[in-house]
Amino acid sequence: MNARSVIVTGAAQGIGRELATTFALGGDSVGLVDRDGTALDDTVRALRDAGLRVEPVVAELGVPAEAAAAVDRLAATLGRLDVLVNNAGGSAHTPLRFEDVTEEDFDRVVDWNLKSTFFATAAAVPHLRAAGGGSVVNISAIAGRAGTELLPPQYSAAKAGVIGLTRNLARHLGPDGIRVNSVAPGFIKSGSRVEAIWHDREDPTQVLAMIPLRRRGEMSEVAAAVMFLATDASSYITGAVIDVNGGFFCL
């Protein structure tokens, strides 16, 4: 497989850092975007110390102008764009209970997850077209598939929106040779913030009992699904959602 130019958003920590590392170890040139400049610096330093080619940009991707500037800058630096992975997102430190969610909470979650995916993709499409096509992989979540009460409703709404956007863009961009797919992780071991949320549960073993494989997923298992969708191994797949959740949600 020839080296590609890849942009990963939300790349400073957790699954995003795992994805950026996996692409870079495979020989790709990788652009990293994140809103947290300090964490992004740490990730870039570690990857460059390992001899990997990565280029960082700090941006709020839910702001259209910042998304466009970040993607344009990285595409120019990398020389082209072949793959965009929209991983930026999260529950944005908002409440779990429906009754406690404010308009500000809701808007922030939509900005972090859905608007960031939309506007990063909008900025990437001209570069992908110029490269003759490519792959967009949007990271949704089990929250957008199952609507489980274990996760915040505003987060479920935003991640379900990511799936709807994925399916719509697959139709819009297919004629340009641009494939658009989604990966929906379940309960993944993905960093200190997620671990804190996990261990705050009254009885995490009850959640494990709801997962047919009886364990949480590894970030490498999410990365494997993303890598599949980013390569020619999935050349006739677009508009699809791959669930990486141990069977918690089966459609």
Q: Is 197 inside any structural domain?
A: no
Is the pLDDT at 193 greater than 60, yes or no?
A: no
Three-state DSSP at 180 gives: strand
Structural domain harbouring 126 = 5-191+218-242
pLDDT per residue as tens digits for the range 40-60? 999 999 999 999 999 999 999
Q: Is 47 inside any structural domain?
A: yes
Q: Is 58 inside any structural domain?
A: yes
Is the pLDDT at 194 greater than 80, yes or no?
A: no
Active-site positions? 155
Lowest mean pLDDT across 19-23, 102-106, 203-207, 216-220: 203-207
Mean pLDDT for 164-174 is: 98
Q: Is 152 inside any structural domain?
A: yes
Summarize the chain as % helix, strand, coil (round to 5). Answer: 50, 15, 35
From the centroid of its chain, how far is CA 58? 16
Strand segments (E) across the chain: 5-9, 29-34, 54-58, 83-86, 134-139, 178-185, 188-189, 217-218, 241-244
Is the pLDDT at 11 greater than 70, yes or no?
A: yes
The CATH number assigned to the domain holding 154 equals 3.40.50.720
Q: Is 203 inside any structural domain?
A: no
pLDDT per residue as tens digits for the range 99-153? 888 999 989 899 999 999 999 999 999 999 999 999 999 999 999 998 778 788 8
Q: Is 132 inside any structural domain?
A: yes
Q: Is 201 inside any structural domain?
A: no
- What total number of domains does the chain contain? 1
Q: Is 109 inside any structural domain?
A: yes
